[in-house]
Amino acid sequence: MFLINSSSYKIKKTKNKGRGVFLTKDLEGGTVIGDYLGKIVSHEEEEDSNVFYGMTRNDDEMILPDPDTAGVNYINHSCAPNCAMYPYKGHMLIVALRKIFTGEELSYLYLVDPEEGLTFYYACKCGAPWCRGSMVTSWEYSKKFWDTFIVKKQGKDYAKKLASFGKELPPLKAYPKKVKDETIYDLFGSLKKSPITVADKKLPSKVILRKKIRETGRRLRFPKIGTTVIGVLYNGLLITS
Ligand SMILES: [Zn+2]
């Protein structure tokens, strides 16, 4: 289910990834774009279904979207994503990591669990210069960071909350309009837009870099330092050119 106005996006065919979601209006960083809704099934039931992708909910269950209903399940994976999954009250929201521009395709890291994801089956064709070639995440990120983040966000009574939803995940009564930045996400400026110029003589802190990328949606060019910051990774590493 989309939570942004239907006039803000279009679903279109892409060259090599099936359908995708493209913006027709700029979106601010942190905007809650949608909620991943669907039927709650076991992993075995998912394998028997004709739906290619579902969203992993926990070790036992998946959320299977209705393939005929246009929802956030139409958003493709990218290794240079502009959106992310955000655990919230037992749901998985899709949020804008940064300002996203009209014409850009929405994307997020699918974070396919390395335990279930055969790399060749989940091949990635996102075209990012640092494309990993796969939608499968690393063991380190999956087990050390992502699982911990889910528990932190969903709270201790997560399991109980999940059980209370039954077999079909209904929409929540209320959604936040925006969420704050989380350093667990890789954050990249748009590769389609030109970088903005920053006159600083010293590289600002990672907190400031993230804030600038999130607000402007762009890469940051530091002519006095001779570098362009493309992104800040979850582990604090900078991607520069
Ligand atoms: Zn990729």
Q: What pLDDT, in 10s, does the model give residues 180-232?
A: 999 999 999 999 999 999 999 999 999 999 999 999 999 999 999 999 999 99
Residue 176: pLDDT band with limits 50, 70, 90: very high
pLDDT for the residue 118:
66
**% of the chain surpassing 90 pLDDT:** 65
Distance 201 CA to ligand 1 centre (A): 33
Distance 105 CA to ligand 1 centre (A): 14
d(CA 94, CA 107): 9
Distance 146 CA to ligand 1 centre (A): 19
Residue 51 in this model has a pLDDT that exceeds 70: no
Distance 160 CA to ligand 1 centre (A): 35
Distance 121 CA to ligand 1 centre (A): 13
The structural domains of the chain, with segments of one domain joined by +, span 6-164, 187-240
The CATH number given to 6-164 is: 2.170.270.10
Distance 224 CA to ligand 1 centre (A): 32
**% of the chain surpassing 70 pLDDT:** 95
Distance of CA 117 to the CA centre of its chain: 18
What is the arithmetic mean of pLDDT over 42-61? 75
pLDDT for the residue 234:
94
Residue 9 in this model has a pLDDT that exceeds 90: yes
Contacts of 127 (CB under 8 A, 6+ apart): none
pTM of the predicted model as reported, rounded to 2 decimal places:
0.92
Distance 111 CA to ligand 1 centre (A): 12
Better pLDDT: 226 or 62: 226
User: How far apart are the two ends of the chain, measured CA to CA in Å?
Assistant: 37
> Which of these ranges, 11-20, 41-50, 169-178, has the smallest mean pLDDT?
41-50
Residue 169: pLDDT band with limits 50, 70, 90: confident
Distance 129 CA to ligand 1 centre (A): 8
Better pLDDT: 122 or 223: 223
Residue 8 in this model has a pLDDT that exceeds 70: yes
d(CA 61, CA 118): 19
Distance 108 CA to ligand 1 centre (A): 10
> What 8-state DSSP symbol labels residue 162?
H
Distance 29 CA to ligand 1 centre (A): 22
Residue 112 in this model has a pLDDT that exceeds 70: yes
Distance 131 CA to ligand 1 centre (A): 4
Residue 44: pLDDT band with limits 50, 70, 90: confident
Distance 26 CA to ligand 1 centre (A): 23
Distance 77 CA to ligand 1 centre (A): 7
Check: CB of residue 105 under 8 Å from CB of residue 14: yes
Distance 163 CA to ligand 1 centre (A): 34
Distance 203 CA to ligand 1 centre (A): 28
What is the arithmetic mean of pLDDT over 103-116? 91
Residue 57: pLDDT band with limits 50, 70, 90: confident
Phi-psi region of 90 (alpha: psi -120 to 50; beta: other; left: phi over 0): left
d(CA 196, CA 154): 36
pLDDT digits (tens, 9 = 90+) for 131-157: 999 999 988 898 899 989 998 998 877
Distance 51 CA to ligand 1 centre (A): 21
Distance 159 CA to ligand 1 centre (A): 32
Q: 60: how many CB neighbours lie within 10 A of its CB?
A: 12
Residue 180 has, within 13 A of its CA and on its CB side, a CA count of: 3
pLDDT for the residue 68:
78
Distance 156 CA to ligand 1 centre (A): 34
